[in-house]
Amino acid sequence: MLIKKPFAVKPSEITDRSVYMNRRKFMQTTSGFFLAGISSLVTAKTSEQQQGAGLAKLDYQATAAYSTDEEKTPYQHVTQYNNFYEFGTDKYSPAHEAQSLTTRPWSVTVEGEVAKPGTYTLEDILKPHALEERIYRLRCVERWSMVIPWIGFPLADLIKRFEPTSRAKYVEFTTLHRPEEMPGQKRRVLDWPYVEGLRMDEAMHPLTIMAVGLYGEVLPNQNGAPMRLVVPWKYGFKSIKSIVKIRFTEQQPVSAWTRTAPHEYGFYANVNPGVDHPRWSQARERRLGEFLKRKTLLFNGYADEVASLYTGMDLSKNY
């Protein structure tokens, strides 16, 4: 029997705990009733699963124009199964390790090609913005997905406040670097701090939001508190968490994952079922909490809204 050491196991090879438990339940209860068993597995969600953990509530307006009507992923999956390598590479580590993170006070440095650079407190950033609920799909490169009710505001509104110059072609974001509170940063898994970036037209697109909450509450630490990016048509690693710096540049930023593995993680990271990851297919995905896989949608189902951003581009080369 082949036994792999923990560091040799690929993220794509790890079975989600919820899927494993659902599989056991499925095998125990579906003898002779296959379809009925599948239905109960997919739809059985308790009110407790949909409720938050007692975090501060937020005032917001629902925005149906941008939201999917798909069933939301249960709160426990959204907050207990996370990619946040600053708190460990295991999907369940962030929910435990991130509780040590201090998120108040918080400030964001704005620099580069803007008329209004400076350091802004979180209160400075949030004060002018009315919060909205946007129910978005989130697709991770490891072939799992969620549907999350984010609370936030359009990134475009924030960018306009800083008055970018005509030389600003890209927006670069940087995550907090604080190894004493983010134990994953003590390991050279990535070149810390985490950096991501968007082309200016991507950043200004109305689907792109700065999120400060989910399920009507402030963001849990493991989900990127106190503020994170959400770009729903791109793989999850583009939606950078715990942002402390925004820089406007003329040159394309080099993101953390692209620097580490450029043949696997390109700058654009658009969800594309026709372009495989070098180590696995992206054609199908598993929604957390469900047993069966589903087809992956081009641009994560947002093609009507964003395909025009990439007219004339070869999406197999610009991955």
Judged against a pLDDT cut of 70, whether residue 276 lies above it is answered with: yes
- pLDDT tops 70 at residue 91: yes
Lowest pLDDT segment from 10-19, 105-114, 148-157, 223-232: 10-19
Given a contact cutoff of 8 angstroms between Cβ atoms, the answer to whether 155 and 51 are in contact is: no
Spatial neighbors of 74 by CB under 8 A, at least 6 apart, are 45, 49, 50, 289
In this structure, what token pair is assigned to residue 19? 């899927």
Range of the domain at 303: 14-28+35-310
Token readout for 227 is: 């503020």
| Cα–Cα distance, 261 to 10 (Å, whole number) | 14
Higher pLDDT among residues 133 and 21, named by residue: 133
pLDDT in tens, 170-212: 999 999 999 999 999 999 999 999 999 999 999 999 999 999 9
Task: Report d(CA 39, CA 48) in Å as an integer.
Answer: 20
Q: Cβ of 274: how many Cβ atoms within 10 Å?
A: 11
**In this structure, how many other beta carbons lie within 10 angstroms of the beta carbon of residue 57?**
13
Q: Does residue 5 belong to any structural domain of this protein?
A: no
For residue 121, tell me if it sits in a domain.
Answer: yes
The reported pLDDT for the residue numbered 1 is 40
Which DSSP string corresponds to the chain?
-----GGGS-GGGSPPHHHHHHHHHHHHH-TT-HHHHHHHHHH---HHHHS--SPPB---EE-TTT---SPPPPHHHHHHS---GGG-SSTTHHHHHGGG---SS-EEEEEESBSS-EEEEHHHHHTT---EEEEEEEE-TTSEEEEEEEEEEEHHHHHHHH-B-TT--EEEEEE---TTT-GGGGSTTSSSSPEEEEEHHHHTSTT-EEEEEETTEEPPGGGTSS-EEE-TTB-GGGS--SEEEEEEESSPP--HHHHH-TTT--SS-B--TTS-BTTB--SEEEETT-SS-EEPPGGGGTHHHHGGGGTT--TTT--
| Residue 134 is assigned to a structural domain of this protein | yes
Residue of 224, 218, 252 lying closest to 237 (CA atoms): 224
In a domain, 316, yes or no: no
204: which 2 tokens?
């200004």
Please report the pLDDT score of residue 3 as a whole number: 40
Query: Residue 73 is part of a domain; what is its CATH number?
Result: 3.90.420.10
Using CA atoms, how far apart are residues 79 and 38, in angstroms rounded to an integer? 24
Residue type, 104: R
Residue 19 domain-assigned?
yes
On whether residue 195 sits in a domain, the answer given is: yes
Encoded tokens for 83: 């990619």
pLDDT, residue 14, reads 44
Tokens at 2, concatenated: 């082949």
In a domain, 1, yes or no: no
Contact yes or no for 199/251 (Cβ under 8 A): no
Domain assignment present for residue 51? The answer is: yes
Q: What is the pLDDT of residues 220-266, one digit of tens each?
A: 999 999 999 999 999 999 999 999 999 999 999 999 999 999 999 99
Q: Measure the CA–CA gap between 176 and 281, rounded to whole angstroms.
A: 32
Which of 270, 258, 283 lies closest to 310 in space, CA to CA? Answer: 270
Q: Work out the angle between the directed axes of helices 17-29 and 34-43 (0-180°, nearest 10).
A: 140
Residue-wise pLDDT for 22-71, tens only, equals 444 433 433 333 223 323 333 333 333 344 556 899 999 998 889 999 99
State how many domains the chain has: 1
Tell me, what's the pLDDT at 54? 67
